[in-house]
Amino acid sequence: MSEYLASVIKAFLGLGLVLGLLLALVPPARRGQATLVAAWLTGVALAIGAAAGSAALAQGGQVEIRLGLRTAALAFSALSLLALALALWRPAALVVAIAAALAGALLATLGVAAMVDVLGRTADIGFTATEIINTELLLNLAALVVGVAVLIGLAVSIRRLGADLGRRGSLAALAAVLAVLAVFSVGDAMLALLQLGWMGVTSGRISFVAQVTDAAPLAPYALLAVALAVLALARLKAPPRATGARGPRLRERRAARLSALAWSRAAAASVAFLIAALLHQDLYASLPPSLSAAEPVVPDAEGQVRLPVEPAADGNLHRFAYIASDGRRVRFFLINRYDAEHVRLGVVFDACMICGDDGYIQDGNDIICIACNVRLFRPSIGNPGGCNPIPLDHVLEAGDVVIAAAALERGARYFSEVVSIPVTDPVTGAELINTEAPHRYDFRGRTFFFEGRESYERFRADPETFVGDLEARRWRVQGHQEADG
């Protein structure tokens, strides 16, 4: 839900502010008619944007469409601001007509761009997991409705507050909104030109595009800052408390003040909601899931790891970590596949033959592969194949899960994390730290470390002399197969 809400806000916030401020520039006598025209124009633009965005996603051409829209938005932004300023200075009929036409073109361009943008943002987000009505469908639909409703409310509030600021104040606020949009439009347009090969690649251009792209998540916050500035300035210009007036004059002043305060509160509530929704998505919901802490385990004198069954019978995922002989951190977990009365433990590596070692997290009765977001039903854990975690050899003895250190060593190559541990040069017997060793060599899926070039060369020439019949580790090959090291 939060992804759709944030996507709607980021795509349509600029359009909503521009719409509200443009209507605030219209004289009060014509504001009703202008609002109706703007509403129809925006609706048509959104429909065109939906068609263009869908076609681009289906047939390609997103880069070309994005470039065209950004270029048009930049041109109409500059021309409409110039024409509106000229209309304020000299409101001749022809000048006003040109300004209105350019403002309409700007509004239409932003509408098409916003719809193309939101379709691109949500292209990889499933609207629903099934073809029937379910919770996911209802929540995502609610996000769209709420997001659009709040943005419309903000646009209406900004129109009213902009009218209190006056036409010059509204034009200044519109210029600020368009300036924010222009910075990111220029960066996006340059990126499109570079992608299409229509602009030469230089370090300066790459640096500018990279900086704008990195700052892009801040664009909606900058736009909301402009909205807050409009709110603050309009609040300062609110009608003062009525003093010294009586009768109808007193009631008129009170009504004007109450109306201004009501619109200020509505705008403040809209801005607060939008900021909260964006912060929730950016600081929490969009973060990748994190693994629970893995309890470290060390083999006993017999080379076995013993873990009691009883704590794992609660149905929760219990994660552990074993440090292999070359420093690889081998994660595995235990989970009861059924209920406390029917304990059947799944004992598996925290890795997948298809997706690698990103690991798994639990959501109720589902175990989720972080890499691909596939949900696995808890009773299936321990079965090989698909995106299931890789089974780990074990036995049950006297209420314990017993795992041989050799079994954990065989699976060390499923994992990429390496920690610093003391190791021994297999040729000279010298002790050193694995991550600081000047030389290393992989053999049978294991990494060996050497204090110098001489011992490294001796080992590489005849490794069997130094390791004997050491068991080979298992490898992930081509993402889904298993082979000896």
CATH of the domain at 319: 2.102.10
State the pLDDT at residue 485.
Answer: 45
Q: Tell whether the model's pLDDT for residue 250 goes beyond 70.
A: no
Provide the terminal-to-terminal Cα distance of the chain, rounded to the nearest Å. Answer: 45
Q: What is the pLDDT at residue 480? A: 38
Q: Which of 414, 435, 450 is the last residue of a domain?
A: 414
In a domain, 357, yes or no: yes
**Measuring CA to CA, which residue among 295, 298, 300, 305 is closest to residue 404?**
305
Judge whether residue 157 has pLDDT over 80. Answer: yes
State whether 83 and 126 are in the same domain.
yes
Q: What is the mean pLDDT of residues 346-362?
A: 90
- Tell me if 114 sits within 8 A of 70, measured CB to CB: no
Same domain? 275 vs 303: no
Shared-domain flag, residues 85 and 180: yes
Contact 322, 408 (CB under 8 A): yes
Tokens of 448: 């060996």
From 225, 190, 186, select the one nearest 205 (Cα to Cα). Answer: 190
Q: Are 16 and 45 found together in one domain? A: yes
Q: Are residues 52 and 169 in the same domain?
A: yes
Four-point Cα dihedral 475, 333, 407, 464, nearest 10: 40
Give the end of a domain, one of 253, 285, 317: 285
Instruction: Report H helices in 135-292.
Output: 135-165, 167-196, 203-215, 219-236, 248-280
CB atoms < 10 A from the CB of 479, how many? 10
Q: What is the pLDDT of residue 249?
A: 65
Dump the DSSP string for 420-435: --EEE-TTT--EEEGG
Per-residue pLDDT tens digits for 171-193: 999 999 999 999 999 999 999 99
- Confidence bin at 119 (pLDDT 50/70/90): confident
| Whether residue 53 is found in the same domain as residue 151 | yes
Q: Are residues 410 and 428 in the same domain?
A: no
Reported as a single tens digit per residue, the pLDDT across 437-485 is 999 999 988 899 999 999 999 999 999 999 888 887 766 544 434 444 4
Does one domain contain both 439 and 330? Answer: no
For residue 405, the model assigns a pLDDT of 93
Write out pLDDT tens, residues 378-423: 888 988 888 889 999 999 998 899 999 999 998 898 998 999 999 9
The per-residue pLDDT for 243 is 57
Answer whether residue 31 is part of any domain. yes
Section 332-359 average pLDDT: 89
In a domain, 159, yes or no: yes
Per-residue pLDDT tens for 275-298? 999 998 888 877 777 888 999 999
Residue 396 located in a structural domain: yes
pLDDT of residue 134 exceeding 90, the answer is no
Sorted by sequence, the CB contacts under 8 Å of residue 113 that are 6+ apart come out as 49, 69, 70, 73
Which helix (H) or strand (E) segment is 96 a member of?
A: helix 93-121
Final residue before a domain boundary, out of 219, 253, 285: 285
In whole angstroms, give the CA distance from residue 229 to residue 238.
14
Greatest distance between any 2 Cα atoms in the chain: 108
In a domain, 290, yes or no: no
Judge if 15 and 120 occupy the same domain.
yes
Q: Do the bridges between strand 318-323 and strand 295-296 make them parallel or antiparallel, or are there none, so unpaired?
A: parallel
- Average pLDDT over the chain reads 87
- Residue whose structure tokens are 């081509």: 478
Structural domain harbouring 366: 295-414
Q: Assess whether 57 and 166 both reside in one domain.
A: yes
77 pLDDT more than 70? yes
Q: What is the pTM of this model?
A: 0.71
Model pLDDT, residue 378? 87
Angle subtended by helix axes 219-236 and 248-280, to nearest 10: 160
Residue 28 predicted with pLDDT over 90: no
Query: How many domains is the chain partitioned into structurally?
Result: 3
Q: Which residues contact 189 (CB under 8 A, 6 or more apart)?
A: 66, 67, 70, 71, 74
Predicted confidence band of residue 333 (pLDDT cuts 50, 70, 90): very high
Same domain, yes or no, for 265 and 301?
A: no
What mean pLDDT is predicted for residues 234-241? 70
Per cent of the chain over pLDDT 90 is 52
The pLDDT score that the predictor gives to residue 234 is: 84
Say yes or no: 164 and 306 in one domain. Answer: no
**What's residue 329's pLDDT?**
95
Amino acid 479: pLDDT: 43
The residue ranking higher by pLDDT, 441 or 246, is: 441
For residue 111, the model assigns a pLDDT of 94
